Structure 1
Amino acid sequence: MKNNFPILESERLILRQFIESDLENVFKGLSHPEVIKYYGISFKTLEESKQQMAWFFNLEKSEKGIWWAVCSKTTGEFLGAGGLNDLCKINKKAEIGFWLLPENWGKGFITEIIPLICNYAFNSIGLNRLEAFVESENTNCKKVLAKLNFTLEDTMKDCEIKNDQRISLDIYSKLNNQ
């Protein structure tokens, strides 16, 4: 684990480095049908979830991104995850992603998480552009991104296959000067 891992805080949340004891919560989230409905990764067993934990731990080492465990600031309870992947320092851009355990939906946490990650990306890493690729049917995510001043750029029609069905992805972006 990195000793100087950046901790991000809002009024209600703390975004911290993942720890081994987060494994069960990561599995709980990434195996839950409602969480994975529009998410690109899912796991059927706790053992499979170890792959995701290894990815979290190795992502920053490879300098391709960074992900945080999202926790309650008062109780320390694990709420979900958020971060950056596909970080490209040459082009000064990355993809932003996030998910919450369903019991934490509708509480305004995402509107606290995303600005923390954006500020870190723009001010600490020096990125110019953040991208979000959202399944076209994921209306809740699209509403949140629009509320946080992400711009809908276009739709990649039938660009991926998920559960033997073609899906389209909407491309959202936020620039450092927005």
Structure 2
Amino acid sequence: MDFQELETDRLKLVEITDEYIDSYYSIMSQDEVTKYYGMPSLTNRHQAESIVHSFRDNFAVEKSIRWGMIWKETDAFIGTVGLNNWSPFSRKAEVGYELDPSFWRKGITSEAVSAVVDYAFRELGLYRLGAVTFPQNDASSGLLKRLGFKEEGVLRGYLFQEDQNHDALMFSRLREEFLKEER
């Protein structure tokens, strides 16, 4: 399967290659970005390089797809959005994302996630998209609800961060709901 780039009004969603390692590291080394991410902030460039390479490797075996968000106005790499735990056979995946804080509260993540949701249901033929977030992450929960995701419940002790387990909220959106809203 070839990597499919996507485009929105303000963003290009591209394959994350080595040229973006430094930008990815810059974003993921910020505590405010990783506070509700389920992993600690990156502390060196090698960690970012390993993660970027894992994006490519996991895409090759159809386990995940991760796009880099490129701000069209400046061609800057400002975050990522993608499908984790992708199972073509089971027709499901989980949406994930992070964004440089200087671009927060501008509707950018909604724009990117909307494009990925459309691609997942229309092009990949997925039936279910899930999303997991910390209960305290009101911004992420609100974004998911605005995009038609339904809160399913609490996954007890599901996320591990800062040497302890945390509960998570599970959201989902089904293909039939997506297509119904498109009419």
**TM-score (norm. length: structure 1):** 0.94
Equivalent positions of 1:11-26 (< 5 A) are 11-26=9-24
Residue 48 of structure 2 corresponds to 49
Distance in 1 (CA, whole Å) between partners of 2:159 and 2:67 is 27
- Aligned twin of 1:154: 153
Q: What is residue 109 of structure 2 aligned with on the other side?
A: 110
* TM-score, normalised relative to structure 2: 0.91
The amino acid that maps onto 2:72 is K
1:36 aligns with 2:42: no
AA aligned to 1:149 is G
Q: How many residues align?
A: 176
Task: For 1:24 and 1:123, locate their aligned partners in 2 and report how far apart those are by CA, in whole Å.
Answer: 33
**Per-residue Cα deviation, 1:40-70 (whole angstroms, up to 9, x for no partner):** 2332101111111111111210111211000
Matched residue of 1:78: which SS?
strand
User: In the alignment, residue 64 of structure 2 is paired with which amino acid?
Assistant: G
Q: Deviations over 1:107-155 (max 9, x none)?
A: 1101101110011111111100000011111111001101111000010
For structure 1, list consecutive stretches of 5 or more residues without a partner in the other structure.
Answer: none
- 1:13, distance to aligned residue in structure 2 (A): 0.7
Unaligned runs of 5+ in 2: 178-183
The code of the aligned residue for 1:129 comes to R
Aligned-partner residue type, residue 140 of structure 1: A
Q: Is the 8 A contact 2:38 2:160 kept in 1?
A: no
* Matched position secondary structure for 2:168: strand
Identity, % of aligned pairs? 30
Residue equivalent to 2:8: 10
Name segments (4+ residues, structure 1) moved above 3 Å: none
Which residue of the partner structure matches residue 76 of structure 2?
Answer: 77
